[in-house]
Amino acid sequence: MLERTVTELSALLACREISAETLTHEFLQAIRQRDPQVRAFLHVDESGALEQARRVDVRRQRGEPLGPLAGVPVAIKDNLCVRGQPTTCASKMLQTYRPPYDAHVISRLRQADAVLIGRTNMDEFAMGSSTENSAFQITRNPWDLERIPGGSSGGSAAAVAAGEVPLALGSDTGGSIRQPAALCGIVGLKPSYGRVSRFGLVAFASSLDQIGPLSRDVTGAALLLDAIAGHDPRDSTSVNRPVPACRQTVEQPVRPLTLGIAREHFEAGLDAEVEQSVREALKVYESLGAKIAEIKLPHSKYAIAAYYLVATAEASSNLARYDGVHFGHRSTEHQDLIDMYCRSRGEGFGAEVKRRIMLGTYALSSGYKDAYYLKALKIRRLIHDDFAQAFTRCDAIVGPTSPTPAFKIGERITDPLAMYLADIYTISANLAGLPGISIPCGFTKTGLPIGLQILAAPFEEEKLLRIARLFERATDWHTRRPKLAELPGIHEPGR
């Protein structure tokens, strides 16, 4: 069961070849066996998950209508509020927080009859590219336990890749779904900004954050996106427009198909094996009838700088509420009110979060706002216009997701700039509000996954998924799994 796709699992559940309770037991057992090594989960709700599964089974036996994810276990990134469950954002600041309400996407998953199996590790407050910034544990890449799974949704990506769960939700502010998906050899989709409600997502950078699916294949991502997308009046940035049924059309190829290639995505810093795999993927598309057009994204070279001004400025504002009075950890040792604020924030936040708060506060400070923050917003507009111009010449833009395969744990932790450059190809899509997907397109000689990023125009998720599925049908990269038998105490199914 652990090796099946979501489509296969849903079919088995629908025809009662397996019960939702049995399936949930299977994945809970996988978590017990595998997660001591992978460390993807911060919280597993065993009793709650089994109770949800039993309710699905009872309703199915009665012949009642069920949702599209009925009985399918789903993992949740730890910055999405689930009523009564710990929602820590992998931070000591929120270590004891239990939300009194569900995020919008959680309500949608409940309506789809999904089984919410647990909460996954992440970089603290989603600030990082390696999941090393968690206050509680370091998640490891199932393909090589000495390497990072990417971030900040590294726990969700690692859980799916390790076969601990078939689907997971992540959030993407600058690549935090797509980059870990690439490094873990799975599919990760960032929807257009406004396609999925952010209500109940603990904010990092409100104009960039977006919630999306992680899955083993494109069809699973389409199914999960269908479940969570749509207008929500509680989120003022949620767009009220029709949501296409992506799962129903995902098998339909886009013809004619023109793919754009940006020279800026193939410059210095790109790993040779990653470039080779991406160019081989382009040849596959050409063999399927696609045309390749060279496009220009001239302002993409400013994306990192613009992003780390906009994102940190918004983080400085959003995280001001965690002061030990309104929200969050309160220091037990303090002399007065100001000292309590300082000590609470000093104890509750990790080094990377403090760094970004200070950068953002400086960028917004008197005398510097025009020179930094406002200039970054102008660059953001130019980046948006570059993409708008490019999409007049192509259906989608294709390139690498990450400039390198997964790096070793600790390798970049003391070099923030090197860590930030891990998102060099993904950040622009957030600045422009575009949908983007990462799909497996190869492996290095040492067996590390490589991801192909595909970007489409705003709100063209349906076309994006169809283009991704076209490649997936013609290759087998998405079917490969980590050699979990090599992990202590783990055996491959059937052995």
For 392-428, the pLDDT digits (tens) are 999 999 999 999 999 999 999 999 989 999 999 999 9
Domain membership flag for residue 343: no
Q: Is residue 346 part of a domain?
A: no
Residues 151, 164: Cα–Cα separation, whole Å: 18
Instruction: Name the residue type at position 375.
Output: K
- CATH label of the domain that carries residue 180: 3.90.1300.10
In a domain, 307, yes or no: no
**pLDDT for the residue numbered 484:** 65
Whole-number pLDDT of residue 326: 86
One-letter identity of residue 396: A
pLDDT score, position 1: 86
pLDDT digits (tens, 9 = 90+) for 209-263: 999 999 999 999 999 999 999 999 999 999 999 999 999 999 999 999 999 999 9
Query: Is 318 domain-assigned?
Result: no
DSSP 366: T
- At residue 483 the predicted structure's pLDDT band, cuts being 50, 70 and 90, is confident
Which residue among the candidates 10, 19, 77, 197 is catalytic per the annotation?
Answer: 77
Q: Is residue 282 part of a domain?
A: yes
Question: What is the reported pLDDT for 164?
Answer: 98
Residue 327 pLDDT: 87
- Render pLDDT for 169-216 as a digit per residue (tens, 0 to 9): 999 999 999 999 999 999 999 999 999 999 999 999 999 999 999 999
Q: What sign does the CA torsion over 355, 436, 186, 421 have?
A: negative
pLDDT above 80 for 486: no
In a domain, 214, yes or no: yes
Of 19, 130, 176, 192, catalytic: 176
Compute the average pLDDT of residues 17-41: 97
Instruction: Say which of 130, 152, 171, 215 is annotated catalytic.
Output: 152
pLDDT, one tens digit per residue, over 106-127 is: 999 999 999 999 999 999 999 9
Q: What is the mean pLDDT of the chain?
A: 95
Q: Is residue 359 part of a domain?
A: no
Active site residue 445: no
294-325 tens-digit pLDDT: 999 999 999 999 999 999 999 999 999 999 99
368 pLDDT above the threshold of 60: yes
∠ CA 451-491-36, nearest 5°, is 70
Query: Residue 75 belongs to what domain range?
Result: 6-299+381-486
Query: Could you tell me the two tokens for 229?
Result: 């997308």
Of 61, 355, 111, whose CA–CA distance to 229 is shortest?
111
What is the full DSSP assignment across 37-54? Answer: HH--EEEE-HHHHHHHHH
Q: Count how many domains the chain has.
A: 1
Q: Is 152 a catalytic residue?
A: yes
What average pLDDT does range 147-156 have in this prediction?
A: 98
When pLDDT is averaged across residues 268-284 and rounded to a whole number, the result is 97
**Coil, strand or helix at 169:** strand
Strand 211-215 relative to strand 167-171, pairing: antiparallel
Work out the average pLDDT over 47-57.
98
Q: Is residue 64, in this structure, part of any structural domain at all? A: yes
176 carries an active-site annotation: yes
Task: Assess whether pLDDT exceeds 80 at residue 34.
Answer: yes
